[in-house]
């Protein structure tokens, strides 16, 4: 039973009881590396990775060392620290071409919403496009659809329009009809991670240019995980504004809006983007350390290697046990799709029993690339599928 004083029982819907198999622990007491210690006294491999906010593993030594060092210098200050410029330089250094500027905040929604405001100011238009299955944070412009859109004024709801993911004809039609300020999108939609068809992003750019629409790339989940700095380089996307958050500080709260200078300059003139903790030094120090490790260790490549091997063993297990399930998404973040929902439920509960906290996806982290962790995940998947078809763990050798 979650705490009676807490609606939903967690501060993020995706961390609530309803998001997890029924036998998952209620709370986490401690997290180190690839593991969490649950309130049920058991240790689990954490496939959720704090909804993607952990990129390297819990309590990565370099990141936590940078945080401890910053604590001795003070965290809240009356002037900016020079960490802001250092982190801006590191982010811009990972991006090709254009003349970029950077502004920091704390949550993903801070920067996606600032991007929308900037796009509105820059284009002199009000409407926003997004994919029907997209999510870009809790702000009004992005929360216009049921079931949780109560309290969002109708006038604001009417300003957001939905297009079908990867359907360029639909996108062209809606752009022509609504003349939006911007289209906000993820390179691979977290909720339904279909990979983009070849040439898609180039065609999207051409459409955006044709209709005078700014492209806002949401890298909250893909950032530093599917590429450095994210999908923008991995897929050769040419956005006008890019939003980073979650994993960029390996669990500390920092987000960044990176945009073309001519757009970002409006923050100096007529667009308001400001917050007390926007440049919080601990978050910035954590991010500098995280990005240093991500570059030195080539994190996206390492995660992809592990993810591809896990995907191959997942597919082989599904075939061996005659189960209709497959992995979708990109190798650094795989999502488990099942034809039969009762089987899916049984599989996820079996994974929890076997010590894998997994609500149907794996956000890979550097800690999971350790051979023993990768092997433990693959073994749990094998044994959980065996359990779904009614084989005990001891029986599974008969099938191999």
Out of 49, 81, 112, 383, point to the residue binding ligand PLP (CB under 6 A): 112
> Partners of 105 in the beta sheet?
255
Nearer to ligand PLP, 218 or 240 (CB): 218
* # binding residues, ligand PLP (CB under 6 A): 14
Out of 193, 245, 331, 360, point to the residue binding ligand PLP (CB under 6 A): 245
The verdict on 141 binding ligand PLP (CB under 6 A) reads no
The verdict on 218 binding ligand PLP (CB under 6 A) reads yes
The verdict on 136 binding ligand PLP (CB under 6 A) reads yes
Out of 109, 241, 286, 346, point to the residue binding ligand PLP (CB under 6 A): 109
Specify the stretch interacting with ligand PLP by CB under 6 A; choose among 3-11, 19-27, 41-49, 213-221: 213-221
Question: What does the radius of gyration of the chain's CA atoms come to, in whole angstroms?
Answer: 22
The verdict on 184 binding ligand PLP (CB under 6 A) reads no
Q: Three-state SS string across 4-59, please?
A: CCCHHHCCCHHHCHHHCCCCCCCCEEEEEECEEEECCCCEEEECCCHHHCCCCCEC
Q: What are phi and psi of 114, to 5 degrees?
A: -65, -35
Specify the stretch interacting with ligand PLP by CB under 6 A; choose among 56-64, 145-153, 218-226, 336-344: 218-226
Nearest Cα neighbor of 171 from 123, 215, 131, 125 is 131
Specify the stretch interacting with ligand PLP by CB under 6 A; choose among 28-36, 102-110, 193-201, 388-396: 102-110
- How far the first Cα of the chain sits from its last, in Å, is 41
The verdict on 186 binding ligand PLP (CB under 6 A) reads yes
User: Please, what is the minimum distance in Å from the beta carbon of residue 190 to ligand PLP?
Assistant: 5
Burial class of residue 366 in the structure, from the number of CB atoms within 10 Å of its CB (0-12 exposed, 13-18 middle, 19+ buried): buried
User: Please, what is the minimum distance in Å from the beta carbon of residue 137 to ligand PLP?
Assistant: 4
**By three-state DSSP, how is residue 277 classified?**
coil
Nearer to ligand PLP, 8 or 73 (CB): 8
For 335, the token pair is: 């999502």
Out of 114, 163, 220, 348, point to the residue binding ligand PLP (CB under 6 A): 220
Per-residue b or e along 6-43, where b marks 16 or more CB atoms closer than 10 Å to that residue's CB:
eeebbeeeebeeebbbeebbeebeebebbbbbbeeeee
39 Cβ neighbours under 8 A, 6+ residues apart: 25, 26, 27, 28, 29
Out of 108, 180, 223, 278, point to the residue binding ligand PLP (CB under 6 A): 108
| Residue sitting closest to ligand PLP (CB) | 108
Binders of ligand PLP among 27-66, rule CB under 6 A?
51
Nearer to ligand PLP, 231 or 378 (CB): 231
Specify the stretch interacting with ligand PLP by CB under 6 A; choose among 108-116, 193-201, 262-270, 371-379: 108-116
User: Please, what is the minimum distance in Å from the beta carbon of residue 367 to ligand PLP?
Assistant: 21
Nearer to ligand PLP, 230 or 300 (CB): 230
> Partners of 184 in the beta sheet?
130, 216
Nearest Cα neighbor of 314 from 360, 375, 365, 382 is 382
User: Please, what is the minimum distance in Å from the beta carbon of residue 186 to ligand PLP?
Assistant: 5
Rounded to an integer, what distance in angstroms lies between the CA atom of residue 255 and that of residue 176? 32
The verdict on 240 binding ligand PLP (CB under 6 A) reads no
Out of 107, 254, 365, 383, point to the residue binding ligand PLP (CB under 6 A): 107
The verdict on 221 binding ligand PLP (CB under 6 A) reads yes
For 307, the token pair is: 């993810």
Nearer to ligand PLP, 208 or 248 (CB): 248
Binders of ligand PLP among 70-89, rule CB under 6 A?
none
**Preceding omega of 234 cis (within 30 degrees of 0):** no
**By three-state DSSP, how is residue 236 classified?**
coil
* CB of 127 closer than 8 Å to CB of 155: no
Nearest Cα neighbor of 272 from 129, 79, 77, 116 is 116
User: Please, what is the minimum distance in Å from the beta carbon of residue 135 to ligand PLP?
Assistant: 5
User: Please, what is the minimum distance in Å from the beta carbon of residue 134 to ligand PLP?
Assistant: 7
Binders of ligand PLP among 257-316, rule CB under 6 A?
none
Contacting residues toward ligand PLP, per CB under 6 A: 51, 107-109, 112, 135-137, 186, 190, 218, 220-221, 245
């Amino acid at each position: 039973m979650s705490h009676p004083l807490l609606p939903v029982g967690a501060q993020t819907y995706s961390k609530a009881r309803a998001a997890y198999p029924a036998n998952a622990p209620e709370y986490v007491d401690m997290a180190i590396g690839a593991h969490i210690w649950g309130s049920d006294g058991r240790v689990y491999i954490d496939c959720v990775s704090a909804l993607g906010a952990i990129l390297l593993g819990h309590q990565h030594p370099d990141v936590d060392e940078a945080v401890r060092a910053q604590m001795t210098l003070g965290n809240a200050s009356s002037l900016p620290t020079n960490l802001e410029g250092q982190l801006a330089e590191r982010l811009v250094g990972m991006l090709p071409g254009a003349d970029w500027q950077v502004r920091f905040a704390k949550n993903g929604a801070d920067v996606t919403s600032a991007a929308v405001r900037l796009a509105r100011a820059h284009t002199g238009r009000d409407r926003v496009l997004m994919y029907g299955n997209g999510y870009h944070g809790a702000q009004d412009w992005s929360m216009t659809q049921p079931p949780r859109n109560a309290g969002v004024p109708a006038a604001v709801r009417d300003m957001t329009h939905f297009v079908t993911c990867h359907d360029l004809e639909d996108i062209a039609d809606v752009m022509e009809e609504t003349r939006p300020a911007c289209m906000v999108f993820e390179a691979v939609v977290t909720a339904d991670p279909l990979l983009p068809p070849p040439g898609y992003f180039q065609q999207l750019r051409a459409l955006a240019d044709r209709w005078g629409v700014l492209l806002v790339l949401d890298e909250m989940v893909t950032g530093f995980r599917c590429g450095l700095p994210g999908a923008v380089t991995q897929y050769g996307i040419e956005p006008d504004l890019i939003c980073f958050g979650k994993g960029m500080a390996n669990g500390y709260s920092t987000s960044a809006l990176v945009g073309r200078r001519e757009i970002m300059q409006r923050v100096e003139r007529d667009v308001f983007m400001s917050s007390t903790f926007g440049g919080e030094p601990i978050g910035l120090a954590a991010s500098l350390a995280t990005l240093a490790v991500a570059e030195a260790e080539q994190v996206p490549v390492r995660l992809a290697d592990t993810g591809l091997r896990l995907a191959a063993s997942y597919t082989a297990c599904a075939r061996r046990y005659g189960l209709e399930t497959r992995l979708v998404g990109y190798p650094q973040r795989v999502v488990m799709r099942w034809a039969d929902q009762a089987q899916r439920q049984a599989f996820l509960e079996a994974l929890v029993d076997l010590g894998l906290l997994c609500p149907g996806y794996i956000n890979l982290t550097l800690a999971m690339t350790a051979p023993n962790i990768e092997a433990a995940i693959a073994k749990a998947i094998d044994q959980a599928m065996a359990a779904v078809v009614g084989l005990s763990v001891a029986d599974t050798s008969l099938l191999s």
